[in-house]
């Protein structure tokens, strides 16, 4: 299923209709998603609006609650898997929004984040209306292959990804935030990087490869996450 065209029209949806959704297609899609690495256990549940604790001024009829084993790349993998889910939802006319400002009602140490979703008629926009860093700000040199990552959603639009060209792809880094921003973003930014990687994956499904190298350049102000071929 080619979901790459959704990248250029999606937007975080914060206005929902109350229509009921048949969830079976969503369960089927998620069960077939390719993770970033095979060795991290994750799972999800679907809740209705009243079953989650919200701090947002808006709400959606449904919420995906995402859980991951605590492991290196666990949060990156959650972003990678479930952004594919968001693009799938978008492709069947269902809007979504990652929601850091919300939680499940019962504490669970593996809980990561919620994604709001539901039918909507306010879930698309023209590509000219994306507010994003330039390609030269997110890489060592401008490269149009990175446009799908450039357009990825991120917590408070922080866009914490950086791509350094290698002989056969990119080394991928996460921006180190200043001490104030770090408090808010430390849990979300690895998810954001996973989301950006999922956009590169769905745009290069047949060639995308991810690995964590032992040797990479140390870049001041960035943390190495892994390396990709696309």
Ligand X SMILES: Cc1cc2nc3c(=O)[nH]c(=O)nc-3n(C[C@H](O)[C@H](O)[C@H](O)COP(=O)(O)O)c2cc1C
Tell me which residues touch ligand X (CB under 6 A): 11-12, 14, 56, 97-101, 153-157, 188, 191-192, 195
Cα radius of gyration rounded to whole Å, the chain:
17
Look up residue 113 and give its two tokens.
Answer: 């984040």
Contact 16/60 with Cβ under 8 angstroms?
Answer: yes
By beta carbon distance, the residue nearest ligand X is: 153
CB nearer ligand X, residue 85 or residue 169:
85
CB nearer ligand X, residue 188 or residue 222:
188
Phi/psi zone of residue 7: left (φ > 0), alpha (ψ -120 to 50 degrees), beta?
A: alpha
CB nearer ligand X, residue 118 or residue 153:
153
Look up residue 62 and give its two tokens.
Answer: 């449904």
Q: Which of 90, 96, 88 is nearest to 28 (CA)?
A: 88
How far is 182 from 170, CA to CA, in rounded Å? 25
CB nearer ligand X, residue 92 or residue 156:
156
Find the shortest distance in angstroms from Cβ 134 to ligand X: 16
Inter-CA distances, 59 with 85, 144, 158, 178, Å? 19, 35, 22, 31
Return the residue matching tokens 């990479």: 216
CB nearer ligand X, residue 17 or residue 156:
156
Find the shortest distance in angstroms from Cβ 91 to ligand X: 16
Find the shortest distance in angstroms from Cβ 145 to ligand X: 20
Q: What φ, ψ does residue 135 adopt, rounded to 5°?
A: -60, -35
Find the shortest distance in angstroms from Cβ 99 to ligand X: 4
Give me the DSSP letters along 167-186. TTEEEEEEEPPPHHHHHHHT
Find the shortest distance in angstroms from Cβ 101 to ligand X: 3
Helix (H, G, I), strand (E, B) or coil at 104: strand
Find the shortest distance in angstroms from Cβ 123 to ligand X: 9
CB nearer ligand X, residue 60 or residue 230:
60
């Amino acid at each position: 299923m080619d979901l790459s065209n959704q990248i250029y029209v999606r937007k975080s949806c914060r206005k929902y209709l109350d229509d009921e959704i048949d969830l079976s297609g969503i369960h089927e899609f998620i069960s077939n998603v390719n993770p970033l690495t095979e060795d991290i256990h994750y799972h999800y549940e679907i809740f209705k609006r009243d079953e989650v604790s919200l701090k947002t001024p808006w709400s959606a009829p449904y919420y995906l609650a995402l859980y991951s084993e605590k492991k290196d790349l666990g949060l990156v993998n959650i972003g990678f898997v479930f952004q594919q889910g968001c693009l799938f939802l978008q492709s069947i006319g269902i809007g979504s929004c990652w929601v850091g400002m919300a939680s499940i009602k019962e504490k669970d140490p593996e809980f990561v984040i919620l994604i709001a979703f539901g039918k909507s008629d306010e879930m698309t926009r023209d590509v000219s209306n994306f507010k994003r860093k330039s390609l030269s700000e997110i890489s060592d040199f401008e490269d149009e292959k990175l446009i799908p990552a450039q357009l990825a959603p991120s917590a408070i639009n922080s866009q914490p990804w950086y791509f350094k060209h290698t002989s056969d792809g990119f080394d991928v880094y996460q921006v180190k935030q200043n001490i104030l921003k770090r408090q808010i973003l430390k849990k979300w930014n690895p998810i954001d990087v996973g989301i950006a990687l999922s956009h590169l994956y769905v745009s290069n499904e047949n060639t995308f490869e991810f690995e964590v190298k032992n040797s990479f350049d140390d870049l001041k102000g960035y943390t190495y996450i892994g390396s990709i071929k696309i």
